[in-house]
Structure 1
Amino acid sequence: MVLDPLTAFSVAGTVIQFVDFGLELFQRSEELYRSVRGTLSVNEELDQTIYQILKLVEKLLQSLGPDGALGCQTNDEYTLAGLCDACKAVAREMISRLNDLKVKGRARAWKSLRAAIVHAWNRDAMMALQKKLEGIKALIESYVLVSVRENVINLSIETSERFAALDSRSQLIIDSLLERRKEFSEELQDQTLAIAQLLSRSEIAILDHLEESKARILGTVQEAQQITSLNGVANDQLLRSKNAETLCRDMTEKSLLEGLQFSTMMQRQEEVTEAYRKTFEWIFQDLSRTFRPWSSFINWLKYEDGIYWINGKAGSGKSTLVRYICDERRTETLLKAWAGPIPLTIASFFFWNSGTRDQRSQSGFLRAILFKVLHQHPELMPIVLPWQWAKRYSRLASDKPILADQIRDDWSISRLKQAFAKLCEQRIVKIKVCIFLDGLDEYEGDHELIAEFFHEITTSSPNIKICVSSRPLLVIGDIFSGLPSLRLQDLTFQDIKFYVNDNLSKHRRFRQLLEKEPIKTPLLVKDIVGRADGVFLWVRLVVESLREGLGNPDEIADLRERLDELPRDLEQLYNHMWGRVRGVYRPRASRIFQIVRAARNQGAVIRYKDDEYEPLTAIALSFAEEESTSINGNPSIRILDPAYLKERCEKMDAVLKTRCAGLLEIHASESTLYESWGGTI
């Protein structure tokens, strides 16, 4: 009869396990065993080795059936049976030699299992056996597995008895890896190998007929005397097998997440200015009782699908609002009403055109979102990334380390989009995903195509919705037309008024002016708010200028003159701020600006890890712009202490504020000043 669709996979996987075990035995036998009882004696290690070989061959015998030929009907099945016979022959030789070692070991104390193995096989015999094992594995991986996979194309694995006996997680993985069974590509070998290994490792043999099986392998009664000693290690071995499989899957998941993650994934979001207290609270207001010219955000969170578009002019506070939404607990509470009983996942990404390539590209967005979703739902990995999962699992299952130069994932945009599409389309693992995406206009590619990409995703999948912020670019507006949205500069009047009043009133000189000029002082605040036109960044720069004047100390007329001098356009305002830098400071300021620009340009060429580059830090800038720095021939080069580094960073911060008109800033991380090298520029 034709083999059960998963039996052939399981047999092939057992052959691979046997070959890997044999190769490990010869290559690094001193590392094969560890026990909760501590270091094993050599005889105990020999018992473990013999037991492991017997267990693997027992699994082969169970699959071969009473006629010893798998009930073969096809050439592929006969080939697989032939490989099983080859494994049995190798097993007979290995067990025979290992038994001899146990007998000799009573009269001779082996220093280690490795020493015993070397004594049992001379170099030529060991090399010949290794070559035979490697040949078996090569044939399995290059021919038999592909043939076996082709044979299950038209069969339903769900009706297989072996499939029904597996745990639900293993069933999910096999279903996922076999989903594209009608396709053929170089990835199929990795996926098929992983299925074979998973099946073999998951089916822990029940050794009810151990004595009979050993007799069939060895053809001798002497082996029956080993049963007592083997039973002593059986339970420990079975538990070790289960734990090893769990560890293998955990390490596979960990390795995949490490491949998706990149160091600057959260940098932009963490560096965005936090919302000023009591601002942006209106976003969570219930609009049912009042008319407002924007779509209810809380209704979208609780009930609606698709896209919510936050648009606004440059500097209006879009990034700050999106960060506020992400940090606010009410967001998750409202989204849980949308998700209902289905698990909810919230993910975010902030595009940044001044950052690394990953921070401004679609591939960076996809890697970040996939990382966050798969980190919370690792059971999705073989569904969303079947090839990458299989490649890692099969290597770890063979007790081989995952090395960067041996396993390089193809995180191309096409493959990432394919993975993201799988995430959106799959219905096996029930999840609801809400994505918060800031700065779509800062994406480095085609804005129309990326906007269409998000629109198509949310239209086709009711389980994923996206809140997007951007400037009101025409191409984005055309695609998002008619969707729930708000225009930010129309809604921040009260926030800006509160920000100006609160910041200025904290200054003792402003409170004095308010008492002295009770009419003119409030009018100054009113004019600032009116001229802002919803641009929070402009307000912030203006308030900083006025607070500088209050420290001089300026009168109300002087402050009014300052305000009138400040352009209302952001670009003109930057030019104005630069114009206020004293001439004596400008050479140094120019040098600093050029260093910062050169560092970013150079970062696009020289990468320190994959597609990332090390951002310019405050301490690096302090040394780079120092004219007297000399390394060549300097006998005083030494390790710098933290206090000195902190002092340099603080001086650099003061230089940027006074020499660069506040146009450059240091963004400090949550770590200490020394550990973060003073923050990034």
Structure 2
Amino acid sequence: MAKPIPAVGLAASIIQLIDFSVKILSKDHKIYQPTDGEVIVNHTLLSTIAQNLFRLSMNIDQNDLKKLNTDPKRPKLSDAAEHLLKLSDETKALTATLIDAVLQAQARGSYSDPKWQTGREALLMVWKKKEITGLKKKLKNVRKEVDTALMIALRNYLEQSAETGLPVFSADDAHIHHFEKWQNDAMDSIHTNEWKPKNKKNVEEFSKKVDALIVGENEAHFCQEAFAKLQFVTMEDRAHSIPAAHAASFEWMFESSPSPGGNQQASAFLEWLGDKSGQNLFWITGKPGSGKSVLMKHMFRNPRLFSSLEAWSGSSPGINAAFFFWSSGVHLQVSSTGLLRSLLYESLQDMIYGPLEQDPGILQLLFADRWKQFTSYGGGTSDFTFQELRLAFELMISDVTKKFFFLIDGLDELGGYPEAVVDLLLSATNRDNVKICTSSRPMPGFQNAFEGRPSLMLDAFMSEDIRSFVSHCVHTEERLVKICSYETDDTLKLNLINDIVTKSSGVFLWATLGTDFLIQGSSESDDVVSLQARIWALPTDLDALLAYIFEDLGTDKVDLEQVSQLFRLVDAHGYPDLLALSFANDPHTKSSLAAEIRPLQPNELSKRMQDMLSLLKIQCKGFLTVFESSSTSTDVEENPLGSVADPRRLKINYSHRSIKDFVQSRPITAVVNKCTGGDAFNSDEYWANASLWNLKTLSLVEQDETQVFPVWEDLAWCMEYALRLEEKDKKVRVTYLDEVGRAAFHEGHASMLSTDLPQGYAVTNFLDIALWLNFTGYVRIKAKSAERKDIKHAMEYNKAVRKRLGNGGEDLWIGERRRRLKNTYDNSTPELFAVLEYYSKLMKFGSPKTHMDMPESI
């Protein structure tokens, strides 16, 4: 098969832009309104049309042939390639006028206007009919020329032309498979039918082939957009944060029949997996800390379950997905919306890109309204609502030719009211082709909902697993091994193990905390009997144990202050990465201002990581833990860098929800606040310092086989914290922001930052970004000393980017958690632009002066 050539991609991009423009100009192309949900208002409609025109226009510039044209050393291109390049520029010029007209119509319209049935109706507010008809005719003529030029290019390639204007695609082009398939089919038709570019009828036949290419491109983009809206960055973080099951744990779950002395209820799980009676929901419950999440992670895609699942699914293909609710996470990790997005994403990825290789058109079926909006006016790309997701989920599982097995952990960690999710689970498991295993604490709401269904009280089965874990610690932990070596009677050692197992009462978290507390508190003067006495002194209740450990921590004032500060820093930032927390823990909150702009050396990085790990393990008594937010497995405590390409993947959070609830309880919060100075402790100062340290020490990392600088993320957080600090004392952080700008535009950072920002607009300095994001105070101050050309460029950059992004397009850069950045962006300040106009012009005698109060700054 012939490799696809850039001419195919360029022609496809041009024609997509032409075809969409013609639709908007046509009086018979009706705007599709959703059958459910809110009607698309005129303002939103025109904004969406403009954004789609921008997107399609920019796709042209991203084509390999277009990029090749900017290379001064490029080889001579074929006539067909040169013609396509010329036609691409002509198309962009024609549609630029259309974009301007759409935006003008948007500005002139009002919410009282009747809903437009076509795009043409809106354009008649700013254009005459003959202007619309004229543009439509020009675009159609260009389309014919594109078809002809593409046909010539393919004939040249088919004839093995020696011309150099037809290089193959870049190896990393996402559309290569799609284009390759179409190109070979098109060339086969050209060869078989002997189509010639000078034959009008041949070109018309070829044009129909091109229509199929465009349909395929639209379907591919819709598929890409749908997956992008389903996926979220933190989707897998909770699963990664759950520790792996200890060796030989949960073996009893995989027993097909109970062993002598085993439990019939436990072995019933495998029977339930293969059962076809219609009891399709299994509830795993138990005390807090008993190990429910560890078990659920251990079972997810565990091959030891497959034979039982296949007994149920028979010859039907099986789809397996999971979701782990997490109260310590962001909104989507604790919401029903996050649950459905995750289950749909995993299931559909499995169907389309797994062994099934199902037609991606399934997305058009599941999200039919969005597909119609997309083909109508470029819409259907907003965030999913819960109602949309539930409908799509129910449509997906209604396919009885497939069997679905879902694991859903931590229902009790769901934010808000769980009734909707419980109803969803019960409704889904009424189907014969859906099985769900879910877990939660034994709360009354879940007990009532799942009464009479197969279930398992986990803590009733954990004694032997806890015994195995404690025995491992006694035989491998250096301190315990040394103490036990003094005893000649193994009975004492066995009694010590039995005592911990008994005290834990089936709660694995109690066993890990109690054992760790015992190890850290032991000394050379201890013997096994004294260790036993210390174990029996520990409270049996988990919350009481946490209080006991915290009180012990309070015996050292310095340790308590340090740990309290870490608690407050973690609470203020969600779950930060280990390196960032090490920067935030710096008592000197302005240390980043004088720091060099360079990556940390391996020895510097290693020391920071090891120091933080030691602090978390010893001083924090295991209340905080480290996990790697990626699919690779790394022993974080033994090797903090390990196989982690980017150390920022090492995240910090509370070791367990019970610990988080304890630390954030009123009595402990009072102690923590007192130890850190109460309201005088400003976590934003510490995180502002950490964010600038992050920005200054960025290093090149590998991500999906490409090297990137994650410049924007750190830059955005620097700006967010600068705004938060300004919000509190009304002082603009000019010194800090100047240093942020210097770091962002330092050598390699600047080139990588430009790829992070909205494409198509050159950013030259930090003033461009500050004005775009509407940093009013900072821009006021800097405008007085900035060069006129820099002010003019910042104004042009702001206007162009805001026009390109439209309403809401900035969310991709601002994100959900940067609230001050969002508020600042949305605040209009016309007087600021009057001042900038004044400073950007050449001063003359008699020029009117514009005044604006200067804010206080530091």
Alignment TM class, shorter chain as reference: 0.5 to 0.7
State the Cα deviation string for residues 273-327 of structure 1 (Å, max 9, x = none). Answer: 1111111011111137776244611111122442011111100000010011014
**One-letter amino acid matched to 1:433:** F
- Structure 1 residues 629 and 388, CA, compared in 2 at 3 Å: closer, same or farther? same
Residues 250-649 of structure 1 mapped to structure 2, 5 A cutoff: 250-287=220-257, 292-294=264-266, 296-304=268-276, 305=278, 306-377=280-351, 378-393=360-375, 408-426=381-399, 430-459=401-430, 461-507=431-477, 510-511=480-481, 513=484, 515-549=487-521, 552=524, 554-581=526-553, 582-600=556-574, 615-631=575-591, 634=594, 636=596, 638-649=598-609
- Structure 1 residues 443 and 579, CA, compared in 2 at 3 Å: closer, same or farther? same
1:674 to partner: Cα distance: 6.4
Of structures 1 and 2, the one scoring higher in RCO (CA 8 A, sep 6+) is 1
Aligned to 1:348, the other structure's residue is in SS state strand
Say what the alpha-carbon RMSD is for the aligned residues: 4.7
- Structure 1 residues 553 and 448, CA, compared in 2 at 3 Å: closer, same or farther? farther
Distance in 2 between residues matched to 1:46 and 1:676, nearest whole Å: 46
**One-letter amino acid matched to 2:626:** I
Distance in 1 between residues matched to 2:135 and 2:500, nearest whole Å: 88
- Structure 1 residues 564 and 252, CA, compared in 2 at 3 Å: closer, same or farther? same
- Counterpart of 2:651 in structure 1 is 680
1:511 to partner: Cα distance: 4.9
Q: Structure 1: which 5+ residue stretches go unaligned? A: 1-12, 50-75, 77-82, 103-201, 211-223, 397-405, 601-614
State the Cα deviation string for residues 452-505 of structure 1 (Å, max 9, x = none). Answer: 33112211x222221001111111011111111111111122111111112211
State the Cα deviation string for residues 426-452 of structure 1 (Å, max 9, x = none). Answer: 55xx32111000101111122344323
Aligned to 2:503, the other structure's residue is in SS state helix
Q: Is the 8 A contact 1:524 1:560 kept in 2?
A: yes
State the Cα deviation string for residues 140-180 of structure 1 (Å, max 9, x = none). Answer: xxxxxxxxxxxxxxxxxxxxxxxxxxxxxxxxxxxxxxxxx
1:20 to partner: Cα distance: 6.1
May I ask how many residue pairs the two structures share in their alignment? 496
- Structure 1 residues 408 and 234, CA, compared in 2 at 3 Å: closer, same or farther? closer
- Counterpart of 2:92 in structure 1 is none
Distance in 2 between residues matched to 1:40 and 1:664, nearest whole Å: 63
- Counterpart of 1:143 in structure 2 is none
- Structure 1 residues 624 and 451, CA, compared in 2 at 3 Å: closer, same or farther? same
Aligned to 1:486, the other structure's residue is in SS state strand
Q: Is the 8 A contact 1:580 1:661 kept in 2?
A: no
2:22 equivalent among 19, 28, 31: 19
- Counterpart of 1:667 in structure 2 is 627
State the Cα deviation string for residues 255-274 of structure 1 (Å, max 9, x = none). Answer: 21011100111111111011
Equivalent pairs: percent with the same residue?
Answer: 27
- Counterpart of 2:810 in structure 1 is none
- Structure 1 residues 552 and 350, CA, compared in 2 at 3 Å: closer, same or farther? farther
**One-letter amino acid matched to 2:609:** C
Residues 127-138 of structure 1 mapped to structure 2, 5 A cutoff: none
- Counterpart of 2:782 in structure 1 is none
1:619 to partner: Cα distance: 1.6
Distance in 2 between residues matched to 1:390 and 1:508, nearest whole Å: 66
TM-score w.r.t. the length of structure 1 is 0.63
Distance in 2 between residues matched to 1:389 and 1:289, nearest whole Å: 54
Residues 27-426 of structure 1 mapped to structure 2, 5 A cutoff: 39-41=77-79, 45=83, 90=137, 94=141, 227-228=198-199, 231=202, 241-287=211-257, 292-294=264-266, 296-304=268-276, 305=278, 306-377=280-351, 378-393=360-375, 408-426=381-399
- Structure 1 residues 556 and 299, CA, compared in 2 at 3 Å: closer, same or farther? same
Q: Is the 8 A contact 1:18 1:87 kept in 2?
A: no
1:375 to partner: Cα distance: 1.5
Aligned to 2:329, the other structure's residue is in SS state coil
1:580 to partner: Cα distance: 1.8
Distance in 1 between residues matched to 2:471 and 2:140, nearest whole Å: 89
Distance in 1 between residues matched to 2:85 and 2:570, nearest whole Å: 66
Q: Is the 8 A contact 1:294 1:485 kept in 2?
A: no
Distance in 2 between residues matched to 1:482 and 1:317, nearest whole Å: 23
Stretch deviating more after TM superposition (545-554 or 337-346): 545-554
1:509 to partner: Cα distance: 5.6
Distance in 2 between residues matched to 1:414 and 1:470, nearest whole Å: 24
Aligned to 2:404, the other structure's residue is in SS state strand
- Structure 1 residues 45 and 21, CA, compared in 2 at 3 Å: closer, same or farther? farther
Distance in 2 between residues matched to 1:43 and 1:383, nearest whole Å: 38
Distance in 1 between residues matched to 2:76 and 2:272, nearest whole Å: 59
Aligned to 1:516, the other structure's residue is in SS state coil
- Counterpart of 2:33 in structure 1 is none
Distance in 2 between residues matched to 1:321 and 1:499, nearest whole Å: 15
Q: Is the 8 A contact 2:402 2:433 kept in 1?
A: yes
1:565 to partner: Cα distance: 2.1
Q: Structure 2: which 5+ residue stretches go unaligned? A: 1-15, 27-52, 69-74, 88-116, 118-129, 150-184, 352-359, 633-642, 653-858
Q: Which has the larger radius of gyration?
A: 1
**One-letter amino acid matched to 2:621:** A
State the Cα deviation string for residues 513-561 of structure 1 (Å, max 9, x = none). Answer: 2652322221111121112111001011122123335564621122112
1:507 to partner: Cα distance: 3.6
Distance in 2 between residues matched to 1:466 and 1:442, nearest whole Å: 18
Aligned to 2:594, the other structure's residue is in SS state coil
Stretch deviating more after TM superposition (236-245 or 26-35): 26-35
- Structure 1 residues 251 and 646, CA, compared in 2 at 3 Å: closer, same or farther? farther
Q: Is the 8 A contact 1:642 1:674 kept in 2?
A: no
Distance in 1 between residues matched to 2:142 and 2:302, nearest whole Å: 65
Distance in 1 between residues matched to 2:530 and 2:138, nearest whole Å: 95
Distance in 2 between residues matched to 1:303 and 1:469, nearest whole Å: 19
- Structure 1 residues 363 and 642, CA, compared in 2 at 3 Å: closer, same or farther? farther
**One-letter amino acid matched to 1:415:** E
1:354 to partner: Cα distance: 1.1
Q: Is the 8 A contact 2:252 2:267 kept in 1?
A: no
Distance in 1 between residues matched to 2:495 and 2:221, nearest whole Å: 64
Stretch deviating more after TM superposition (310-319 or 548-557): 548-557
**One-letter amino acid matched to 1:573:** L
**One-letter amino acid matched to 1:532:** S
- Structure 1 residues 355 and 38, CA, compared in 2 at 3 Å: closer, same or farther? farther
